[in-house]
Chain A
Amino acid sequence: MRVIVPLQGVVQGKVGLFWGSVIPCALFYFLQLYLKRRHRSQPPSPPPAPSPEATSPPPSPLNSSEKLHEVSVLPRTLSRILLSPRGVSGPVYVSSRANSIAKTGDSPYYVGLKKVDEDLCHEIDNPNGVIQLGLAENKLSLDLVQDWLEKNATGTILGEGNCRELNISRIAAYQPFDGLMRLKVAVAGFMSQVMEESVFFNPSQMVLTSGATPAIEILSFCLADNGNAFLVPTPHSPGFNDDLRCRTGVEIVPVPCRSTDNFNISITALDRAFNQAKKRGQKVRGIIITNPSNPVGNLLNRETLYSLLDFAREKNIHIISNEIFAGSAFGNEEFVSMAELTEAEDHDRDRIHIVYGLSKDLSVPGFRVGVIYSYNENVLAASRKLARFSSISAPTQQLLISMLSDSRFTHKFIGINKLRLQKLHNLFVAGLKQLGIECARSSGGFYCWADMSSLIRSYSEKGELELWDRLLNVAKINVTPGSSCHCIEPGWFRFCFTTLTEKDIPVVVERIRRISEAAKSHA
Chain B
Amino acid sequence: MTLTRTKYPTATDSEDQKRGPTGGTGMKLIVPLQGVVQGRGGLLLGSLIPCALFYFLQLYLKRNRSSNSPSNPSSPAGSSSNLTELQRSSSRSNLSRTGSIGRVRVSNLASSLAKPNDSPYYIGLDKVSQDSYDRLNNPNGIIQLGLSENKLCLDLIERWISENLNHSLIGNDVTLSINAIATYQPSDGMEKFKVAMSNFMSQMMRRSVNFDPSNIVLTSGATPAIEILSFCLADHGNALLVPTPYYPGFDRDVKWRTGVDLIPVHCRSTDNFTLSITAVEQAFSQARKRGVKVRGILISNPANPVGSLLSRDVLYDLLEFAREKNIHIISDEIFAGSIYGSEKFVSFAEILDPEDVDKNRVHIIYGLSKDLSLPGFRVGAIYSFNKNVLAAAKKLCRFSSVSAPTQQLVTAMLSDERFIQEYIEANQKRIRQIHDEFVARLSQLGIKCAKSSAGFYCWADMSGLIRPYSEKGELDLWDKFLNLAKINITPGSACHCIEPGWFRICFTTINLEDIPLIIERIRNVVETCKSSG
Interface residues of A (CB under 8 A from B): 1-6, 8, 11-13, 16-17, 20-21, 24-25, 28-29, 44-45, 54-56, 69, 72, 86-99, 101-102, 104-105, 135, 137, 139, 142-143, 145-146, 149-150, 153-154, 157-158, 164-165, 167-175, 210-211, 213-214, 217, 221-226, 228, 242-243, 246-247, 278, 281, 283, 285, 313-314, 316-318, 347-348, 350-351, 363-369, 376-379, 381-383, 385-386, 388-396, 399
Q: List 21 A-B contacts (CB under 8 A).
A: A25-B54, A28-B51, A29-B54, A55-B325, A101-B396, A150-B174, A170-B376, A172-B377, A173-B375, A210-B402, A214-B400, A222-B106, A222-B109, A247-B396, A316-B102, A316-B105, A381-B114, A382-B113, A383-B110, A392-B220, A393-B377
B4 and A367 within 8 A (CB): no
> Given A12-B27, A389-B399, does the pair A224, B405 have CB atoms closer than 8 Å?
no
In the assembled complex, which residues on chain B have CB atoms less than 8 Å from the CB atom of A98?
231-233, 388-389, 392
Give CA–CA (A259, B233) in the complex, Å: 44
A3 and B182 within 8 A (CB): no
Besides the known contacts A222-B113, A393-B379, 19 further A-B residue pairs in the complex with CB atoms under 8 A apart: A8-B30, A17-B32, A88-B323, A94-B389, A98-B389, A101-B392, A101-B395, A157-B169, A158-B165, A172-B374, A173-B149, A221-B109, A222-B107, A316-B71, A350-B103, A367-B181, A378-B111, A389-B227, A389-B253
B183 and A139 within 8 A (CB): yes
> Given A365-B183, A377-B114, does the pair A4, B29 have CB atoms closer than 8 Å?
no
Tell me, rounded to whole Å, the shortest Cβ–Cβ distance linking B462 to chain A: 26
Digitize B382-403: 1 where CB-to-A-CB distance is under 8 Å, 0 elsewhere. Answer: 0000111101100110111111
A4 and B111 within 8 A (CB): no
Give CA–CA (A471, B7) in the complex, Å: 78
In the assembled complex, which residues on chain B have CB atoms less than 8 Å from the CB atom of A222?
106-107, 109-110, 113
Interface status of B100 (Cβ within 8 A of chain A): yes
Tell me, rounded to whole Å, the shortest Cβ–Cβ distance linking A248 to chain B: 8
In the assembled complex, which residues on chain B have CB atoms less than 8 Å from the CB atom of A167?
158
Tell me, rounded to whole Å, the shortest Cβ–Cβ distance linking B478 to chain A: 21
A17 and B29 within 8 A (CB): yes
Nearest opposing residue in chain A for B70, CB measure: A283
Interface of B is mostly: helix
Give CA–CA (A56, B358) in the complex, Å: 14
In the assembled complex, which residues on chain B have CB atoms less than 8 Å from the CB atom of A366?
180-185, 403-405
Nearest opposing residue in chain B for A28, CB measure: B51
**The stretch of B40-48, B303-311, B525-533 that contacts the partner chain:** B40-48
B323 and A379 within 8 A (CB): no
A2 and B47 within 8 A (CB): no
Give CA–CA (A204, B166) in the complex, Å: 33
Digitize B201-225: 1 where CB-to-A-CB distance is under 8 Å, 0 elsewhere. Answer: 0000000000000000000110110
A392 and B403 within 8 A (CB): yes
Within 8 A of A (CB), among B1-20: 3-4, 7-8, 11-12
B235 and A5 within 8 A (CB): no
Interface status of B465 (Cβ within 8 A of chain A): no
Tell me, rounded to whole Å, the shortest Cβ–Cβ distance linking A354 to chain B: 15
- How many residues does chain B have at the interface if contact means C-beta atoms less than 8 Å apart? 124
Interface of A is mostly: helix
A4 and B223 within 8 A (CB): no
A142 and B182 within 8 A (CB): yes
In the assembled complex, which residues on chain B have CB atoms less than 8 Å from the CB atom of A391?
220-221, 378
In the assembled complex, which residues on chain B have CB atoms less than 8 Å from the CB atom of A91?
357, 360
Give CA–CA (A347, B181) in the complex, Å: 43
In the assembled complex, which residues on chain A have CB atoms less than 8 Å from the CB atom of B392?
94, 97-99, 101-102
A158 and B161 within 8 A (CB): yes
Nearest opposing residue in chain A for B125, CB measure: A174
Count A-B contacts at CB 8 Å: 376
Give CA–CA (A221, B108) in the complex, Å: 9
> Given A21-B32, A55-B325, A95-B235, does the pair A211, B401 have CB atoms closer than 8 Å?
yes
Interface centre among B55, B358, B392, by most chain A C-beta atoms within 10 angstroms, is: B392
In the assembled complex, which residues on chain B have CB atoms less than 8 Å from the CB atom of A6?
43, 46-47
A225 and B108 within 8 A (CB): yes
A5 and B46 within 8 A (CB): yes
Give CA–CA (A169, B161) in the complex, Å: 12
In the assembled complex, which residues on chain B have CB atoms less than 8 Å from the CB atom of A314?
98, 100
Interface residue from B149, B170, B238, B252 paired with A149 (Cβ < 8 Å):
B170
> Given A169-B154, A172-B375, A393-B377, does the pair A3, B3 have CB atoms closer than 8 Å?
yes
> Given A92-B361, A366-B404, does the pair A172, B373 have CB atoms closer than 8 Å?
yes
Give CA–CA (A290, B398) in the complex, Å: 20
Interface residue from A149, A171, A281 paired with B63 (Cβ < 8 Å):
A281
Interface status of B326 (Cβ within 8 A of chain A): yes
B395 and A388 within 8 A (CB): no
Nearest opposing residue in chain A for B25, CB measure: A13
Interface status of B324 (Cβ within 8 A of chain A): yes
In the assembled complex, which residues on chain A have CB atoms less than 8 Å from the CB atom of B29?
16-17
Interface status of B327 (Cβ within 8 A of chain A): yes
B375 and A223 within 8 A (CB): no
Give CA–CA (A225, B110) in the complex, Å: 9
Interface status of B178 (Cβ within 8 A of chain A): yes
In the assembled complex, which residues on chain A have CB atoms less than 8 Å from the CB atom of B180?
366
Nearest opposing residue in chain B for A239, CB measure: B398
B165 and A4 within 8 A (CB): no
Give CA–CA (A165, B162) in the complex, Å: 12
B42 and A69 within 8 A (CB): no
Interface centre among A16, A29, A376, by most chain B C-beta atoms within 10 angstroms, is: A16
A95 and B233 within 8 A (CB): yes
> Given A4-B34, A5-B47, A172-B157, does the pair A399, B405 have CB atoms closer than 8 Å?
yes
B106 and A376 within 8 A (CB): yes
Give CA–CA (A364, B227) in the complex, Å: 27
Give CA–CA (A347, B32) in the complex, Å: 54
> Given A4-B43, A12-B27, A101-B392, does the pair A393, B402 have CB atoms closer than 8 Å?
yes
Digitize B403-430: 1 where CB-to-A-CB distance is under 8 Å, 0 elsewhere. Answer: 1111001000000000000000000000
